[in-house]
Each structure stands twice: as C-alpha cells, then as structure tokens.
Homo-oligomer: A and B are copies of this chain.
Amino acid sequence: MINIIQDNINEYIQIIKNRANTVQSDVSIVVEKILKDIKVNGDNAVLNYTKKFDSQNITNLKVSKEEIKNAYTKVDDEFVNALKLAKENIKSYHKKQVQNSYITTKNEIVMGQVIRGLETVGIYVPGGTAAYPSSVLMNAIPASVAKVDKLVMVTPPLEDGSINANILVAADIAGVDEIYKVGGAQAVAALAYGTESIPKVDKIVGPGNIYVATAKKMVFGNVDIDMIAGPSEILIISDKNGNEKYIAADLMSQAEHDILASSILVTTSMDLAKKVKSELKNQVQYLSRKEIIEKSLNNFGAIIVVENIDEAIKIANIIAPEHLELMINEPFIYLNEIKNAGSIFLGYYSPEPLGDYFAGPNHVLPTSGTAKFFSPLSVDDFIKKSSYLYYSKNALNKVKEPIIKLADTEGLTAHANSIKVRFDL
C-alpha cells in the first residue's frame, strides 16, 4: 500500500508536485455565469441556486438567533468544552502575531504606519462531510484577534434547510457575527458583491470545493482572498529510534483527508521503514476512512530511506510540506534547518492532530509546496496598513533638490512641479 524508495527520489517528488495540476475549464464557465447572475439579481439568484443545489426548504437566508440557541441542545457538553479549550489556545497563540502601529518623529518629520483590522470578512464553511467545526475556529479567531469589525459566515444548508449544529455552535463560540445559508460559487459571489441581505465583504477566507476555489480566484482583486489551497501533505522525519506505531498513525491522519493527500516518511533506517509499512497495514483495518487512506498512501505516499538526517531535511526543504513532523530525540537542534514548511511538529508527542484541533497554531497552512512563499493563516491576513508622513516646510526645503532631480530624471515634470510651486522655483 506504500512504497519504500531509495533511488529516483526526484521522480517521486515530481509526482507529488504535479498531483494538483488538473485544469477544469468547464468549471470556469459555470462559475462565471453564477457570479454574473448574483451580481445582477442579488438575493433572488442566491435563493434560486440554493434551492437548486442544496435545499428546497429555504426562505430566510440568515440564520436566526433561535437556530443558534437550538443548535446547543443538539450537541454534547464535552464537545462544547473541547471547542472552548481549543478557542483559548488558538486565541492566545495568535495574540503574539498582533503587529502594532508605529510612529517616528525627527527633525520636523513625522512618519508611521497605521494598522487596522479589516472591516468585514467572509468565512466560507463547506457543507456535508467536510463541515469541520475546527476550521471555523481556525478562520474566525485570527480575524477576531485582528479586530475585524464584522465576521460573516456562509455555509450551504442541509436538505431540510438547517445548518449542521456542530458548525453553528463553533461559529457562535468563535465569535462569528452573522451566518447565511448559502454555499458554492453563489456564496462567494454574494460576499464579493453584496446582495440585499448578505453584506459585501473585504476578504473571503476558508476552504471549499473546485467551484468555490474557482469563484474565489475570479473575485480576487474585487475583494481579497486567502491562499489558494491544494491537496495537503505530511512529511515525517525519523531515525532508528522512531516509533512505528506513532509514525503509521500520523501518516494516516493526513491520508484520510483526501485521496490526493500525500503522506511521506523520510527515515535513516530501513528497519523502521519496513516496520512502519507493516504497521500501516495493521492499523488501517480499524479506521473508518480505510479506502481513502489506502488510495492516498498507494498513489502519493512514500517511505524514503536516506543516509542521514541532513539528507532528510534537504528533501523536506525541497518538498516544502504543509506539515512536518521531526520525530527524533532532539528535534530543536534541527528547527533552524527547516527552511520550508507550513507547521513543524517536534518530538514524539506532538502529532499533527494536536495542531489541527487544539494547540494554538493555525491549521490553515500552505499546501503543495507553497510553503516556500506562503505562510500559515495568521492575524496578518486580517489587517490592512496605511503609511503616513508629515514634513514641515523647513524639512521639505532641505530635501527639495534630490526630489526634483529624481522626478526630472524620470521625465515626470508634474512631480517636480509639485515641489517647485511650494518654493516658487
């Protein structure tokens, strides 16, 4: 179900890198039509698509306070407590990311940068089996730490016109202000353009299917969007001291997401490689997503055997995995060598699900090798900055020549003129 490879590692890396490259031009045509329709027809169009794709039982797009209150009666206390504990951890981790406005004053010159939270943010939450309460927390909490004024959530309703109770409770705990029953490209369009009942937002975040992703890409520029997510990865580095049970379990926790997910062990020990392979076969029997896991491991999983940890880290930096587990004795020694990874899990007791659900760092991470230039979702994604500057007449007078020189060199005489008129030059 998983291959052990020692040679042709580059070939395998190419397979991993290319697994997301499927262009679907028919999707673009459908999405473009939906965007236009929502832009022109607003709520009417939103209701039509929602009835067509999700539920006939929709009259009111907005989730009522009563529906949220009701949702709490449908979930157990243990779940609510777990969400609240996770919320505290996520909030406390993200508070460290808050950037402050700054100001400098010197020689009759004042300059600075003002940082503000975005006014309105839209969070997309998928329906069906991919409706993850943890994703609601991970998207909403950094926005709320960034002091976003209004957090709007959209999610497709179930057939009976209701929203999954787990999602409603998570949204309430995370501090979402308004929730609307709409999904797909129509939800993205409603957030991007605004309708009679759904507010236009400044930024749309959250995962979705190919229609949602395509719609987000199309409205980018009109609003901001978060990163473009591809299939995800875990890469585990371990030596002969690795525990095959833990490694197998962690590889499968990634593989169960998606048949396109890629789970990779890079180890210095052929003995461990073989043990992990057999452990995978053993543990998968008891897991509900056995089929997805087997397909994912078979197509995009690998156990790569290398000479030493340095070589393993080199491979990790090339793959730039979303999740990287350093399952070795002294993991901190190597932390600084990891140049490209979304989130790094250190040691034997820091498995990926600890980060996915609970510890505090965000689980919205750069996928498919984009950790080379993208970063985990953070407070920075929900702020906007303005620079400002003030010069006194005296201060401007001192620097007028070099400014005029630069403007003239660029052939922009009206720029030069703007300095000149102030000093009758």
Contacts and interface: CB of A to CB of B under 8 A. Distances in A.
A164 to B, nearest CB: 10
Contacts of A288: 411, 413
Contact of A228 (B86, B203, B221, B332): B221
Contacts of A421: 245-246, 249, 283
Contact of A406 (B79, B349, B399, B410): B79
A393 B388 CA distance: 50
A166 B411 CA distance: 12
A252 B420 CA distance: 13
Nearest to A366: B384
Interface stretch (A44-52, A173-181, A269-277, A368-376): A368-376
B385 A418 contact: no
A387 interface: yes
Interface stretch (A1-9, A183-191, A301-309, A355-363): A355-363
Given A78-B405, A82-B402, A417-B249, A372 B388 contact: no
B376 A386 contact: yes
A64 interface: no
B221 A370 contact: yes
Interface string A101-124: 010100001110110101100000
Interface in A317-371: 331-332, 335-336, 338-362, 370-371
Contacts of A166: 409
Nearest to A130: B410
Contacts of A158: none
A380 interface: yes
Number of identical monomers bound together in the oligomeric complex: 2
A362 to B, nearest CB: 7
Contact of A255 (B109, B357, B386, B414): B414
Could you say which interface size class chain A belongs to?
35 or more
A349 B391 contact: yes
Nearest to A388: B344
A93 interface: yes
A149 to B, nearest CB: 10
Contacts of A362: 387
A134 B406 contact: yes
Contact of A402 (B86, B109, B228): B86
Contact of A403 (B129, B344, B353): B353
A281 interface: no
Contact of A378 (B339, B385, B391, B407): B385
A110 to B, nearest CB: 7
B345 A389 contact: yes
A125 interface: no
B289 A413 contact: yes
A197 B387 CA distance: 38
A33 interface: no
A287 B386 CA distance: 30
Nearest to A416: B353
Residue among A102, A221, A352, A401 facing the most chain B CB atoms (10 A cut-off): A221
29 contacts: A78-B405, A79-B409, A81-B402, A82-B403, A93-B387, A111-B361, A113-B361, A246-B418, A249-B417, A249-B418, A252-B418, A288-B413, A331-B390, A338-B386, A342-B387, A345-B389, A347-B390, A348-B422, A349-B391, A349-B392, A349-B393, A349-B422, A351-B419, A354-B396, A357-B415, A359-B391, A362-B387, A375-B383, A376-B385
Given A349-B422, A376-B386, 6 more contacts: A82-B406, A96-B104, A111-B359, A119-B372, A286-B413, A343-B388
Q: Closest 4 A-B residue pairs measured CB to CB?
A: A82-B402, A361-B387, A375-B385, A344-B388
